[in-house]
Structure 1
Amino acid sequence: MACIGLLEASIALFCFLIFYLFLIQKHYCYMLIKKYLQSYPWNWPVLGMLPAVLMRFNRIDDAIYIIEKTNLTFVFKGPWFARMDALITVDPANIHHILTSNFSNYVKGPELKEILDVYGDAIFNTDGELWKNLRMSFQAILNRQGFQNMSFSVTTSKLQDVLLPLFSRFSEEGTVVDLQDVFRRFMFDTSLVTITGSDPHSLSIEMPEVEFAEAFDNAGEAILFRHVIPRFLWKFQNMMRLGQEKKLIEASATFDRICAKYIDAKREEIRSQGINHDHSNGESEDVLTSYTKLDTSKYEILDPSDDKFIGETLLSFIFAGRDTTATSLTWFFGLLTKNPNVEAKIRQEITKNLPEASQERSWSASDHKEYLNKLVYLHAALYEAMRLYPPIPFERKSPIKSDVLPSGHKIDANSNIIIPIYALGRMRSVWGEDAWEFKPERWISETGGLRHEPSSKFLAFNSGPRTCPGKNLAMMTMKTVVVDILQSYDIKLVKGHKIEPKPRLALQMKHGLRITLTKRCSA
């Protein structure tokens, strides 16, 4: 309690000084703030660098200047006794060391697990043998040809039966559309179908509020605040059910209740249909069915009879399927509205390689995959969008043992390391002087193929042993959506609409993506 009193007194003194400067020394205050915004974060007594973070919380680009001026790595000092000190790095050599070559020493750690407690033992929140078992089970499901075929079928059905008809109506009525909201609903519906077998129908002309989807949004916002305020403050808020913590508690209750509903329904479905544990005919099963019938001889730590484990696994899949893909699609189309030359090249590539794309088709999933693999420039443009706007904007790690990074920085055991992936994509020393430009050509090799870049530079799908197991499926899904939309519609950004990032666990647009649609004439 003494620490809390000291912090409160320091905050009061800080506020008084700011008040004095604004009233008495306006010119000096202006020059001070200007200098502040252009300099290395101030390390205040007691408060550390936290005031700098809070002042810049909604100006994520301000961090780029700081990191560039500190040779890609610097030490953040949090408030005294708050355990918020962290080493922040975008040095590819450090990243490779942390995520790949010395992977076993760098874990998520107990602090991050506590911050993400609403997700329980989700795959992105675990370490050790549990993580290995979860990852193996994820890969086994995602790599099944039957599951990939089902995912393709669900995606194309939702496109043809729901999204494109909606776009047709919006186009005819001249409706302004928030494409970010559309993609989040589209991916939520397709994810729930492939994961649970149930369609929530959140994407419709009514655009209804969906409690489950809203819980994910509220949880993500609250978790982000846990990263930037002292632990004792959010712990106190949680105990008192205040602010963001109240929303997180409510989100957790929603997760538990709705996951239990899906699990109970699935167990009853399996019982009523007499489905056994033979996997020979289960390749196209939804995720929930697969986990309910999991072969425990392959995954000794995983328990399919434990509803808590099944529920947390569902949350992992939904977050990965909905938030990351929807975010990537949103930024991709946002960038296209400002880069018509890139859009034209993508359309040309689609027309050249997919002459039947605008006609009624009966492709198999394998045929579809073969066609999409020819769209190298589209692939490059999607990668470029994720380089500039990675769906997950930062990675957090903690070393088990003390270590020395390739940059020469010494780090203590159990300390915090943050990799700001958003900033990494804008480092001129990493990507060149044109690092801030949307330039898909940087991904095209001299022979016209896709250029390989080390995952320590391009972290959109993570790196090393934790590389996203659904990477290929996500790319195929995004290409499918892009091709169908661009073949049918022209998209124009609403005049004056501002596109800027909104700090969240998944990097959303602060004001959405407001566009109008015009139906394209058939060739």
Structure 2
Amino acid sequence: MGEHSSSSSSFSTALAIAGLALLAVCSYYLLVSRGRRGGNKPKRYPPVVGTMFHQLYHVRRLHDYHTDLFRERKTFQLLAPASRRQIYTCDPAVVEHILRTNFANYGKGTFDYENTRDLLGDGIFAVDGDKWRQQRKIASYDFSTRALRDFSGAVFKRNAAKLAGVVSNNAASKQSMDVQGLLLKATMDSIFTIAFGLDLDTLGGSGEGSRFAAAFDDASEFTLLRYVNAFWKVMRFLNVGSEAMLKERVKVVDEFVYKRIRARAQELSCNKHAQDPDSRQDILSRFIEAATNESGTVDYKYLRDIILNIVIAGKDTTAGALAWFLYMACKHPEVQEKICQEVREATNAGETASVDEFAQSLTDEALNKMHYLHAALTETLRLYPSVPLDNKQCFSDDVLPDGSSVSKGDIVFYVPYAMGRMEYLWGKDAEVFRPERWLDQNGEFQQESPFKFAAFQAGPRICLGKEFAYRQMKIFAAVLLRFFVFRLRDGEKASVNYRTMITLHIEQGLHLTATAR
């Protein structure tokens, strides 16, 4: 048995060394041949500091691996056995260049599309050109309407109060709870009501959406693995490992979403003469009208892609950010007290107000007064951005602001997670949670450049739902911290890790205890 294990280990080591040697040869050829493209004068590319095999080895701490590399240099390469370079940056000047200054030359491209298409399809996060412009135009209109603002605000307040009820039951019985799991259910209920006009009530105990949510989270993780696994296409062809599991999870996701799209389309078709189109409050209804062709049929695949992109934007990102926010609030109990005091002063609800009454007092005017809460949420996103790693593909040869060359087809990654930890951007206390860094001398919130704080992207692709997300997070945080004091189940010194997936979640959940105020 021991001899077999030793032989297997030796074989694996030899195989790894052979793979690295092959990669080195291919990469050297790539550097030499492409470095002299278009003339004898070599181009200056960012320095090479590792390979995709290093990323795969560090996959469970991928974002911290990148952060360690960025402490040595702002922009670098990781070699991959492919015809395109993979360039990583946390330089705000480079981020601005690819997201705004030379926006037309950088997009999702074929690299990103191939990696994400099984899950995200032709949704707004995966496409360029006319498809992106069409979806953004409709979504931009939707997010700017007062009707959606009022509708979503009412949904957020209702689900925040419902979540507080679940927390209250656990507090009364002195039971710990996975708050991240509860937040994922609450935000899923919210986004489904807003997107589909359908309340799944997963927070209330309905199991209808639980299988979908679990499959969606797994599919997100397996999709991200494609960015660090050079052999995912071979695995997909053989239908093995993470690729086989991704295929299975996407099937679960598709069945769930298609069922609801068909039901909604049929309902709208039956009621199209009886209902004023402007009175339809859910996003799906508007997209169904836009996606219906002249023959009166609906492109279900197109709608599936759009809705899944909206779901990942409205569910995973907000729930993850709120979980990290409560984690940091438990690490810094004084933050909880400051927020509780601020929300009491900002609202017109009395000390004896019920949870429902308090939630209803969270008007836009009241939320806009909560500068410290806004700062604490933003500080959380600085350290734990919902999308920790993003990328764009270069469409034609370019030169970055630092003088580095980028060739057509190269992938440029920018890394909000690492950017939030760089001392040259945030000072010596870059890794310290300090909401006050976002407040001026009058205690009012002050924005930073979106190319330095890139949690919501920037330029033409800046997140349309930014204010939408802040409103949801502030409503949930205000309700929870007004009525409860939270503590980490395993003590203030306990720590958590992230799960490496498209969005930044806490691995194994966030287990807290709550005490009613």
Q: How does 1:9-48 map to 2 (within 5 A)?
A: 12-13=13-14
Instruction: Tell me the amino acid that sits aligned with residue 91 of structure 1.
Output: D
| Residue 253 (1) aligns with residue 251 (2) | yes
Distance 2:126 2:350 in 1: 40
Q: Spell out, residue by residue over 1:20-69, the C-alpha distance to the aligned partner (whole angstroms, 9 max, x if none).
A: xxxxxxxxxxxxxxxxxxxx9997xxxx6233223322233233232121
1:129 CA displacement: 1.7
Task: Find the counterpart in structure 2 of residue 93 from structure 1.
Answer: 93
| Residue 67 (1) aligns with residue 70 (2) | yes
Task: Find the counterpart in structure 1 of residue 332 from structure 2.
Answer: 339
Task: Find the counterpart in structure 2 of residue 291 from structure 1.
Answer: 287
1:512 CA displacement: 1.6
SS of aligned partner of 1:413: coil
Distance 2:189 2:56 in 1: 35
1:355 CA displacement: 4.3
Instruction: Tell me the amino acid that sits aligned with residue 316 of structure 1.
Output: N
Distance 2:261 2:464 in 1: 24
SS of aligned partner of 1:123: coil
Which piece of structure 1 moves more, 487-496 or 355-364? 355-364
Distance 1:97 1:154 in 2: 38
Contact 1:87 1:417 in 2 (8 A): yes
SS of aligned partner of 1:293: helix
| Residue 441 (1) aligns with residue 456 (2) | no
Task: Find the counterpart in structure 2 of residue 146 from structure 1.
Answer: 147
Task: Find the counterpart in structure 1 of residue 307 from structure 2.
Answer: 314
Distance 2:392 2:361 in 1: 38
Task: Find the counterpart in structure 2 of residue 235 from structure 1.
Answer: 233
Task: Find the counterpart in structure 2 of residue 468 from structure 1.
Answer: 463
Distance 1:375 1:206 in 2: 34
Instruction: Tell me the amino acid that sits aligned with residue 54 of structure 1.
Output: L
Q: Percent identity?
A: 31
Residues 1:41 and 1:417: Cα distance change in structure 2 (over 3 Å): closer
Residues 1:279 and 1:442: Cα distance change in structure 2 (over 3 Å): same
SS of aligned partner of 1:324: helix
Contact 1:277 1:293 in 2 (8 A): no
SS of aligned partner of 1:325: helix
Distance 1:87 1:277 in 2: 52
In the alignment, which of 481, 491, 502 is matched to residue 505 of structure 1? 502
| Residue 177 (1) aligns with residue 177 (2) | yes
SS of aligned partner of 2:227: helix
Q: Spell out, residue by residue over 1:70-126, the C-alpha distance to the aligned partner (whole angstroms, 9 max, x if none).
A: 2x1111112x3x346311100000101110111111011101101001211010001
Instruction: Tell me the amino acid that sits aligned with residue 259 of structure 1.
Output: V
Q: CA RMSD in A?
A: 2.7
Residues 1:487 and 1:274: Cα distance change in structure 2 (over 3 Å): same
In the alignment, which of 425, 430, 435 is matched to residue 425 of structure 2? 430
Distance 2:422 2:150 in 1: 39
Task: Find the counterpart in structure 2 of residue 56 from structure 1.
Answer: 58
Task: Find the counterpart in structure 2 of residue 489 from structure 1.
Answer: 484
Distance 1:204 1:346 in 2: 27
Which piece of structure 1 moves more, 383-392 or 243-252? 243-252
Task: Find the counterpart in structure 2 of residue 36 from structure 1.
Answer: none
Which piece of structure 1 moves more, 495-504 or 165-174? 495-504
Q: How does 1:345-364 map to 2 (within 5 A)?
A: 345-356=338-349, 359-360=353-354
1:206 CA displacement: 7.8
Which piece of structure 1 moves more, 331-340 or 148-157? 148-157
SS of aligned partner of 1:449: coil
Task: Find the counterpart in structure 1 of residue 516 from structure 2.
Answer: 519
Q: Spell out, residue by residue over 1:160-193, the C-alpha distance to the aligned partner (whole angstroms, 9 max, x if none).
A: 2x31221121111111111111111111111111
Distance 1:280 1:295 in 2: 17
Instruction: Tell me the amino acid that sits aligned with residue 54 of structure 2.
Output: A
Instruction: Tell me the amino acid that sits aligned with residue 444 of structure 1.
Output: L
Distance 1:381 1:463 in 2: 21
Task: Find the counterpart in structure 2 of residue 77 from structure 1.
Answer: 79
1:275 CA displacement: 4.3
Instruction: Tell me the amino acid that sits aligned with residue 199 of structure 1.
Output: D
Residues 1:41 and 1:94: Cα distance change in structure 2 (over 3 Å): closer
Distance 1:185 1:418 in 2: 31
Distance 1:480 1:471 in 2: 14
| Residue 113 (1) aligns with residue 113 (2) | yes
Q: How does 1:317-466 map to 2 (within 5 A)?
A: 317-356=310-349, 359-360=353-354, 368-466=363-461
SS of aligned partner of 1:392: coil
- TM superposition outliers: structure 1 runs of 4+ over 6 Å: 40-43, 206-209, 361-367
Residues 1:365 and 1:306: Cα distance change in structure 2 (over 3 Å): farther
Runs of 5+ consecutive residues of structure 1 not aligned to the other structure: 1-8, 18-39
Contact 1:139 1:469 in 2 (8 A): yes
Task: Find the counterpart in structure 2 of residue 26 from structure 1.
Answer: none
Distance 1:364 1:501 in 2: 31
Which piece of structure 1 moves more, 352-361 or 476-485? 352-361
Q: Spell out, residue by residue over 1:201-236, the C-alpha distance to the aligned partner (whole angstroms, 9 max, x if none).
A: 222358787121122112111111100011xx2112
Instruction: Tell me the amino acid that sits aligned with residue 180 of structure 2.
Output: Q
Q: Spell out, residue by residue over 1:257-313, the C-alpha distance to the aligned partner (whole angstroms, 9 max, x if none).
A: 22221122112222333446854434xx111112122388xxx99x98211111111
1:133 CA displacement: 1.0
Task: Find the counterpart in structure 2 of residue 194 from structure 1.
Answer: 194
1:366 CA displacement: 10
Distance 2:316 2:135 in 1: 20
The aligned length equals 474
Distance 1:222 1:315 in 2: 16
Q: Spell out, residue by residue over 1:388-433, the C-alpha distance to the aligned partner (whole angstroms, 9 max, x if none).
A: 0000001111111111111111110110111111001101111111
Contact 1:112 1:125 in 2 (8 A): yes
Instruction: Tell me the amino acid that sits aligned with residue 147 of structure 1.
Output: L
Task: Find the counterpart in structure 2 of residue 30 from structure 1.
Answer: none
1:14 CA displacement: 5.6
Contact 1:149 1:365 in 2 (8 A): no
Residues 1:11 and 1:74: Cα distance change in structure 2 (over 3 Å): farther
Distance 1:116 1:294 in 2: 24
Q: Spell out, residue by residue over 1:318-362, the C-alpha distance to the aligned partner (whole angstroms, 9 max, x if none).
A: 111100000110000000000112222212211222241661466
**More relative contact order in 1 or in 2 (CA 8 Å, sep 6+)?**
2
Instruction: Tell me the amino acid that sits aligned with residue 142 of structure 1.
Output: F
Instruction: Tell me the amino acid that sits aligned with residue 409 of structure 2.
Output: N
Runs of 5+ consecutive residues of structure 2 not aligned to the other structure: 1-9, 19-45
Task: Find the counterpart in structure 2 of residue 217 from structure 1.
Answer: 217
Distance 1:76 1:417 in 2: 11
Which piece of structure 1 moves more, 337-346 or 269-278? 269-278
Distance 1:256 1:64 in 2: 35
Provide the TM-score with structure 1 as the length reference.
Answer: 0.85
Contact 2:487 2:512 in 1 (8 A): yes
